A and B are shown apart, each in its own frame.
Chain A
Amino acid sequence: MYKGIGASAGIGIGKVVVIKEQELDYKKVTIEDTEAEKKRLSDAIEVFIEKTTALVETMKVTAGEQESEILEGHILMIQDPAITEQIEAKIDGEKINAEAAVEEACDFFAQIFAMAEDELTQQRASDLGDIKTRLIKILLGIEEVDISAVPAGTILVAEDLTPSMTAGIKPENVEGVLTEIGGKTSHSAIICRSMEIPAVLSIENITSIVNDGDEVVLDGATGDAYVKPEASVVEEYKAKKEKYLEEKAALAKFVGQPSQTADGHVVELVANIGGPEEAAGVLERDGEGVGLFRTEFLFMESNDVPSEESQFEAYKKVAETLEGKPVIIRTLDIGGDKALPYLGLPTEENPFLGFRAVRFCLKRPDIYRPQLRALLRASAFGKIRIMVPLVTCVDELRAVKAIIEELKAELDAEGIVYDKDIQVGVMMETAAASLIADILAKEADFFSIGTNDLTGYTMAADRGNPDVAYLYSAYNPAVLRSIKNIIGAANKEGIMAGMCGEAASDPLMIPLLLAFGLNEFSVSATAILQARKTMSLWTLDECKALADEAMQLTTEAEVKALLEERARS
């Protein structure tokens, strides 16, 4: 058995398809028959165009028009006489093989683009790199793995699932995912959960351990995975899978019910989303709104800062889809582990303590103002709330609010409508914000606790580092006190106390959070019904009694043991 991080619940039973980047192994050689070499080239280009056209069509559906346009550009580039003539001239004149000619010609243009002053042009250099690799692969006869073409019952195994790979996934054909890197909150985990694909991440060397066609069973909740299991194990997991699917069906009866404790204490149960296309799924799963719309994906999908107009369209779409239900949109949370190549940010020695999120945004009004303007304009089409990430002092909140006031005046002058009472809140995710929660609560319209970063910053532990990951737990008394303090400060000022981190959907944490006075729980869409069920199993008094007991304990292990012992299901 192999043990990894269970990142997306469910049982997967299927056959392995390994996604591996192969080395391009070729030399520059002299050839005799230049005509034959040019024929090889033109055949390869034809295959390239065919494959890319198919990819463009899939991406239009799975990833949206914008992402597919870049690939459409690749088709035009490879047909461009400027490059094809250069490749052919090299084959004719220097008598070199097509692989070497393609490499030299693509590098030639990539270098020209890389030297341009214009950022947008510089990025085209990487497109030429992509074209080069893919075309040489075709020349060498190396099959490109097309994730969208994997057969039903596939277990995908890769070092990591990159965003562009996930774009090609057809959820109905993928039984499960195994990767070498990633954790519960990595991109791959988020995508797998939203597609309801069981996933176990962070299994060392798994791409070398398995071969295509190997049978694998995995449990995305426990992080267990078996390669070529014995028949008895397969039987056991088939039974588990059935039970899991039954339980899932049982949750269906919580659809349409209020989110409340057994004694009728009602809270708001909303969802976290990463893009406008996920908004419809929130309603399908009976979410009461959106508690966190991460706007980074808009910025990561494109090759340049998305315009005010395109952001406006995305925010408007979410607001309209949610039909007047609240939508909390977090402003750009970039930097740290989430870099944007086109911003050209310098590498930092300590990115998590560095130039990121609101710190970056306040220094870059050219990027921040269009986003805030787009949010204000979109607020006319639904109930948008603006959330500011990584606040550590009240000055930052004030600065953002001042920009919003300026933009409101601008919109008034232009006669553009927006929600004049739009709420501006703080994402509570630093120890500093927690310690001044009373100060922030007087000026913020709401709080939303980001327990992932709050836990990391409070415990000073990187969840991705296996040597210190044991410290990274929200059950630590330090983290619990911090959460309690934040919620208490919000309750005192009468503003909403929300939570958009992983802890909000943890069945062990939910009774504690109810006891502390949390008003809003924002969870991944697939966890909504489970969270609603957990809430229904407790009265508020029972929650408070449990919380009193838990807060007396002195270690993480004791807290966890108590919560596990009292857990209800």
Chain B
Amino acid sequence: MVSKKFVIENEQGLHMRPAGVLAKAVTKFESDVTIVFEDKKINAKSLLNIIGACIKCGSEIELVCEGADEEAALAHATELIESGLGE
């Protein structure tokens, strides 16, 4: 299991577009990818669950990857989140 913490800097938080970019990207990996936010565990492969979590700008999240390709999954997600998830 590998993990990393991030602060969401998208102006409107993880709404439709950035959440979609993230969910779409991590779905390609075999590993389970989970967002830990305010004690909640959210499946990062589910756009609906991410949106439902209402993760706002400035929130801290932890991304947890677990599985055969966990390193690659985390590295890819890190790159995306740090570059603003398409925004």
Residues of A within 8 A of B (CB): 69-70, 72-73, 76-77, 80-83, 109, 112-113, 116-118, 120-121, 124, 127, 303-304, 307
Q: Is the CB of A113 within 8 A of B47?
A: no
Interface centre among A77, A112, A121, by most B CB within 10 Å?
A: A121
Give the chain B neighbours of A304 by CB distance below 8 A. 12
**Minimal beta-carbon separation of B43 from chain A (angstroms):** 7
Cα(A304)–Cα(B47), bound, Å: 19
Contact flag A113-B51 (CB < 8 Å), given A73-B16, A76-B24, A120-B13: yes
Q: Are A69 and B48 in contact (CB-based, < 8 A)?
A: no
In the bound assembly, the distance between CA atoms of A47 and B63 in angstroms comes to 34
Q: Do B16 and A69 touch across chains, with their CB atoms under 8 A apart?
A: yes
For the complex, what is the distance from the CA of A83 to the CA of B45, rounded to whole Å? 12
Beta-carbon contact of B56 and A109 below 8 Å: no
Contact B43 A76 (CB under 8 A): no
Kindly provide the distance from the CB of B20 to the nearest chain A CB, expressed in whole angstroms.
5
Q: Which B residues are CB-close (under 8 A) to A121?
A: 15, 51-52, 54
Chain A contacts for B12, CB-based, 8 A: 120, 304
What's the nearest-Cβ distance from chain B to residue A548, in Å? 58
Kindly list chain B residues whose C-beta atoms are within 8 Å of the C-beta of A113. Answer: 51-52
A120 to B57, CA, bound (A): 12
Residues of B within 8 Å of A120, CB to CB, are 12-13, 15-16
Asked if residues B47 and A112 are in contact (CB atoms below 8 Å), the reply is no
Contact B54 A116 (CB under 8 A): yes
A82 to B16 CA separation, bound complex (whole angstroms)? 15
Enumerate 27 A-B pairs (CB-CB under 8 Å) in ascending A order: A70-B16, A72-B20, A73-B16, A73-B47, A77-B47, A80-B46, A80-B48, A81-B43, A81-B46, A82-B43, A109-B52, A113-B51, A116-B52, A116-B54, A117-B54, A118-B13, A118-B54, A118-B56, A120-B15, A120-B16, A121-B15, A121-B51, A121-B52, A121-B54, A124-B16, A124-B51, A127-B16
* B16 cross-chain contacts in A, Cβ below 8 A: 69-70, 73, 120, 124, 127, 303
A256 to B24, CA, bound (A): 52
Q: A558 to B73, alpha carbons, bound, how many Å?
A: 78
Number of interface residues of B (CB under 8 A): 19
Chain A nearest CB: distance from B67 CB in Å? 15
Chain A residues with CB below 8 A from B49, complex form: 80, 82
When each residue 1-41 of chain B gets 1 if its CB lies under 8 Å from chain A and 0 otherwise, what string results? 00000000001110111001001100000000000000000
Asked whether, in the complex, the Cβ of B47 is within 8 Å of the Cβ of A76, the reply is: yes
Question: Once bound together, how far apart are the Cα atoms of A371 and B51, in whole Å?
Answer: 27
CB within 8 A of A80: which of B13, B17, B47, B54? B47
Tell which of A72, A82, A118 touches B48, judged by Cβ atoms closer than 8 Å: A82
Q: Which residue of A lies closest to B20 (CB)?
A: A76
Of chain B, the residue at the smallest CB distance from A122 is B54
Closest Cβ of chain B to A412, distance in Å, is 24
7 further A-B contacts with Cβ under 8 Å, apart from A117-B54, A120-B16, are A70-B16, A76-B23, A82-B46, A82-B47, A113-B51, A116-B52, A120-B13
Distance in Å: Cβ of A545 to nearest Cβ of chain B: 60
Query: Contact between B20 and A73 (Cβ–Cβ < 8 Å)?
Result: yes
Contact residues in A for B51 (Cβ distance below 8 Å): 113, 121, 124
CA distance A109 to B46 in the complex (A): 12
| Distance between Cα atoms of A76 and B25 in the complex (Å) | 11
Q: Smallest Cβ distance from B37 to chain A, in angstroms?
A: 13
With A and B bound together, what is the CA distance between A80 and B24 in angstroms? Answer: 9
Q: Are A83 and B48 in contact, CB atoms less than 8 angstroms apart?
A: yes
User: Looking across the interface, which residue of chain B has its beta carbon closest to that of A73?
Assistant: B16
Q: Name which residue of chain B comes closest to A108, CB basis.
A: B48
CB distance from A86 to the nearest CB of B (A): 10
Residues of chain B from 46 to 86 with CB closer than 8 A to chain A in the complex: 46-49, 51-52, 54, 56
**Closest chain B residue to A109 by CB distance?**
B48
Instruction: State A83–B46 Cα separation when bound (angstroms).
Output: 9
Q: Quick one: closest B residue to A117, CB to CB?
A: B54
Contact with A77, one of B13, B48, B56 (Cβ below 8 angstroms): B48
Query: Which B residues are CB-close (under 8 A) to A83?
Result: 48
Residue of B nearest to A115 (CB): B52
Instruction: Give min CB distance, A230 to chain B, whole Å.
Output: 53
C-alpha gap A304/B45 in the complex (Å): 25
| CA A77 to CA B49, docked complex, whole Å | 10
Find out whether the CB atom of B56 lies under 8 angstroms from the CB atom of A73. Answer: no
The CA-CA distance from A112 to B42 in the complex, in Å, is 15
Q: How far is the CB of B53 from chain A (nearest CB, A)?
A: 9
Q: How far is the CB of B6 from chain A (nearest CB, A)?
A: 19
A307 CB → nearest B CB, Å: 6
Residues of A within 8 A of B46 (CB): 80-82
Q: How far apart are the CA atoms of A307 and B13 in the complex, in Å?
A: 13
A80–B52 contact, CB under 8 A?
A: no
Within the complex, the shortest CB–CB distance from B42 to chain A, in Å, comes to 10
- Tell whether, in the assembled complex, residue A80 and residue B23 are in contact, meaning their CB atoms are under 8 Å apart: yes
Picked from A69, A81, A82, A109, the residue with its CB within 8 Å of the CB of B17 is A69
Residue among A83, A124, A304 with the highest chain B CB neighbour number at 10 A: A124
- Most B Cβ at <10 Å: residue of A109, A116, A120: A120
Min Cβ gap B86→A in Å is 10
**Nearest chain B CB to A352 CB, angstrom units:** 32
Chain B residues within an 8 Å CB radius of A118:
13, 54, 56
A65 to B23, CA, bound (A): 20
When distances are taken between beta carbons in the complex, the residues of chain B under 8 Å from A76 are 20, 23-24, 47
Q: How far is the CB of B8 from chain A (nearest CB, A)?
A: 13
Residues of A within 8 A of B17 (CB): 69, 73
Cα distance A250–B15 in the bound complex, in angstroms:
52
In the complex, the 9 A-B pairs of residues with the closest C-beta atoms, listed nearest first: A82-B46, A118-B54, A73-B16, A82-B48, A76-B47, A76-B20, A120-B15, A80-B48, A80-B47
Determine the chain B residues whose CB is within 8 A of the CB of A303 once the complex forms.
16
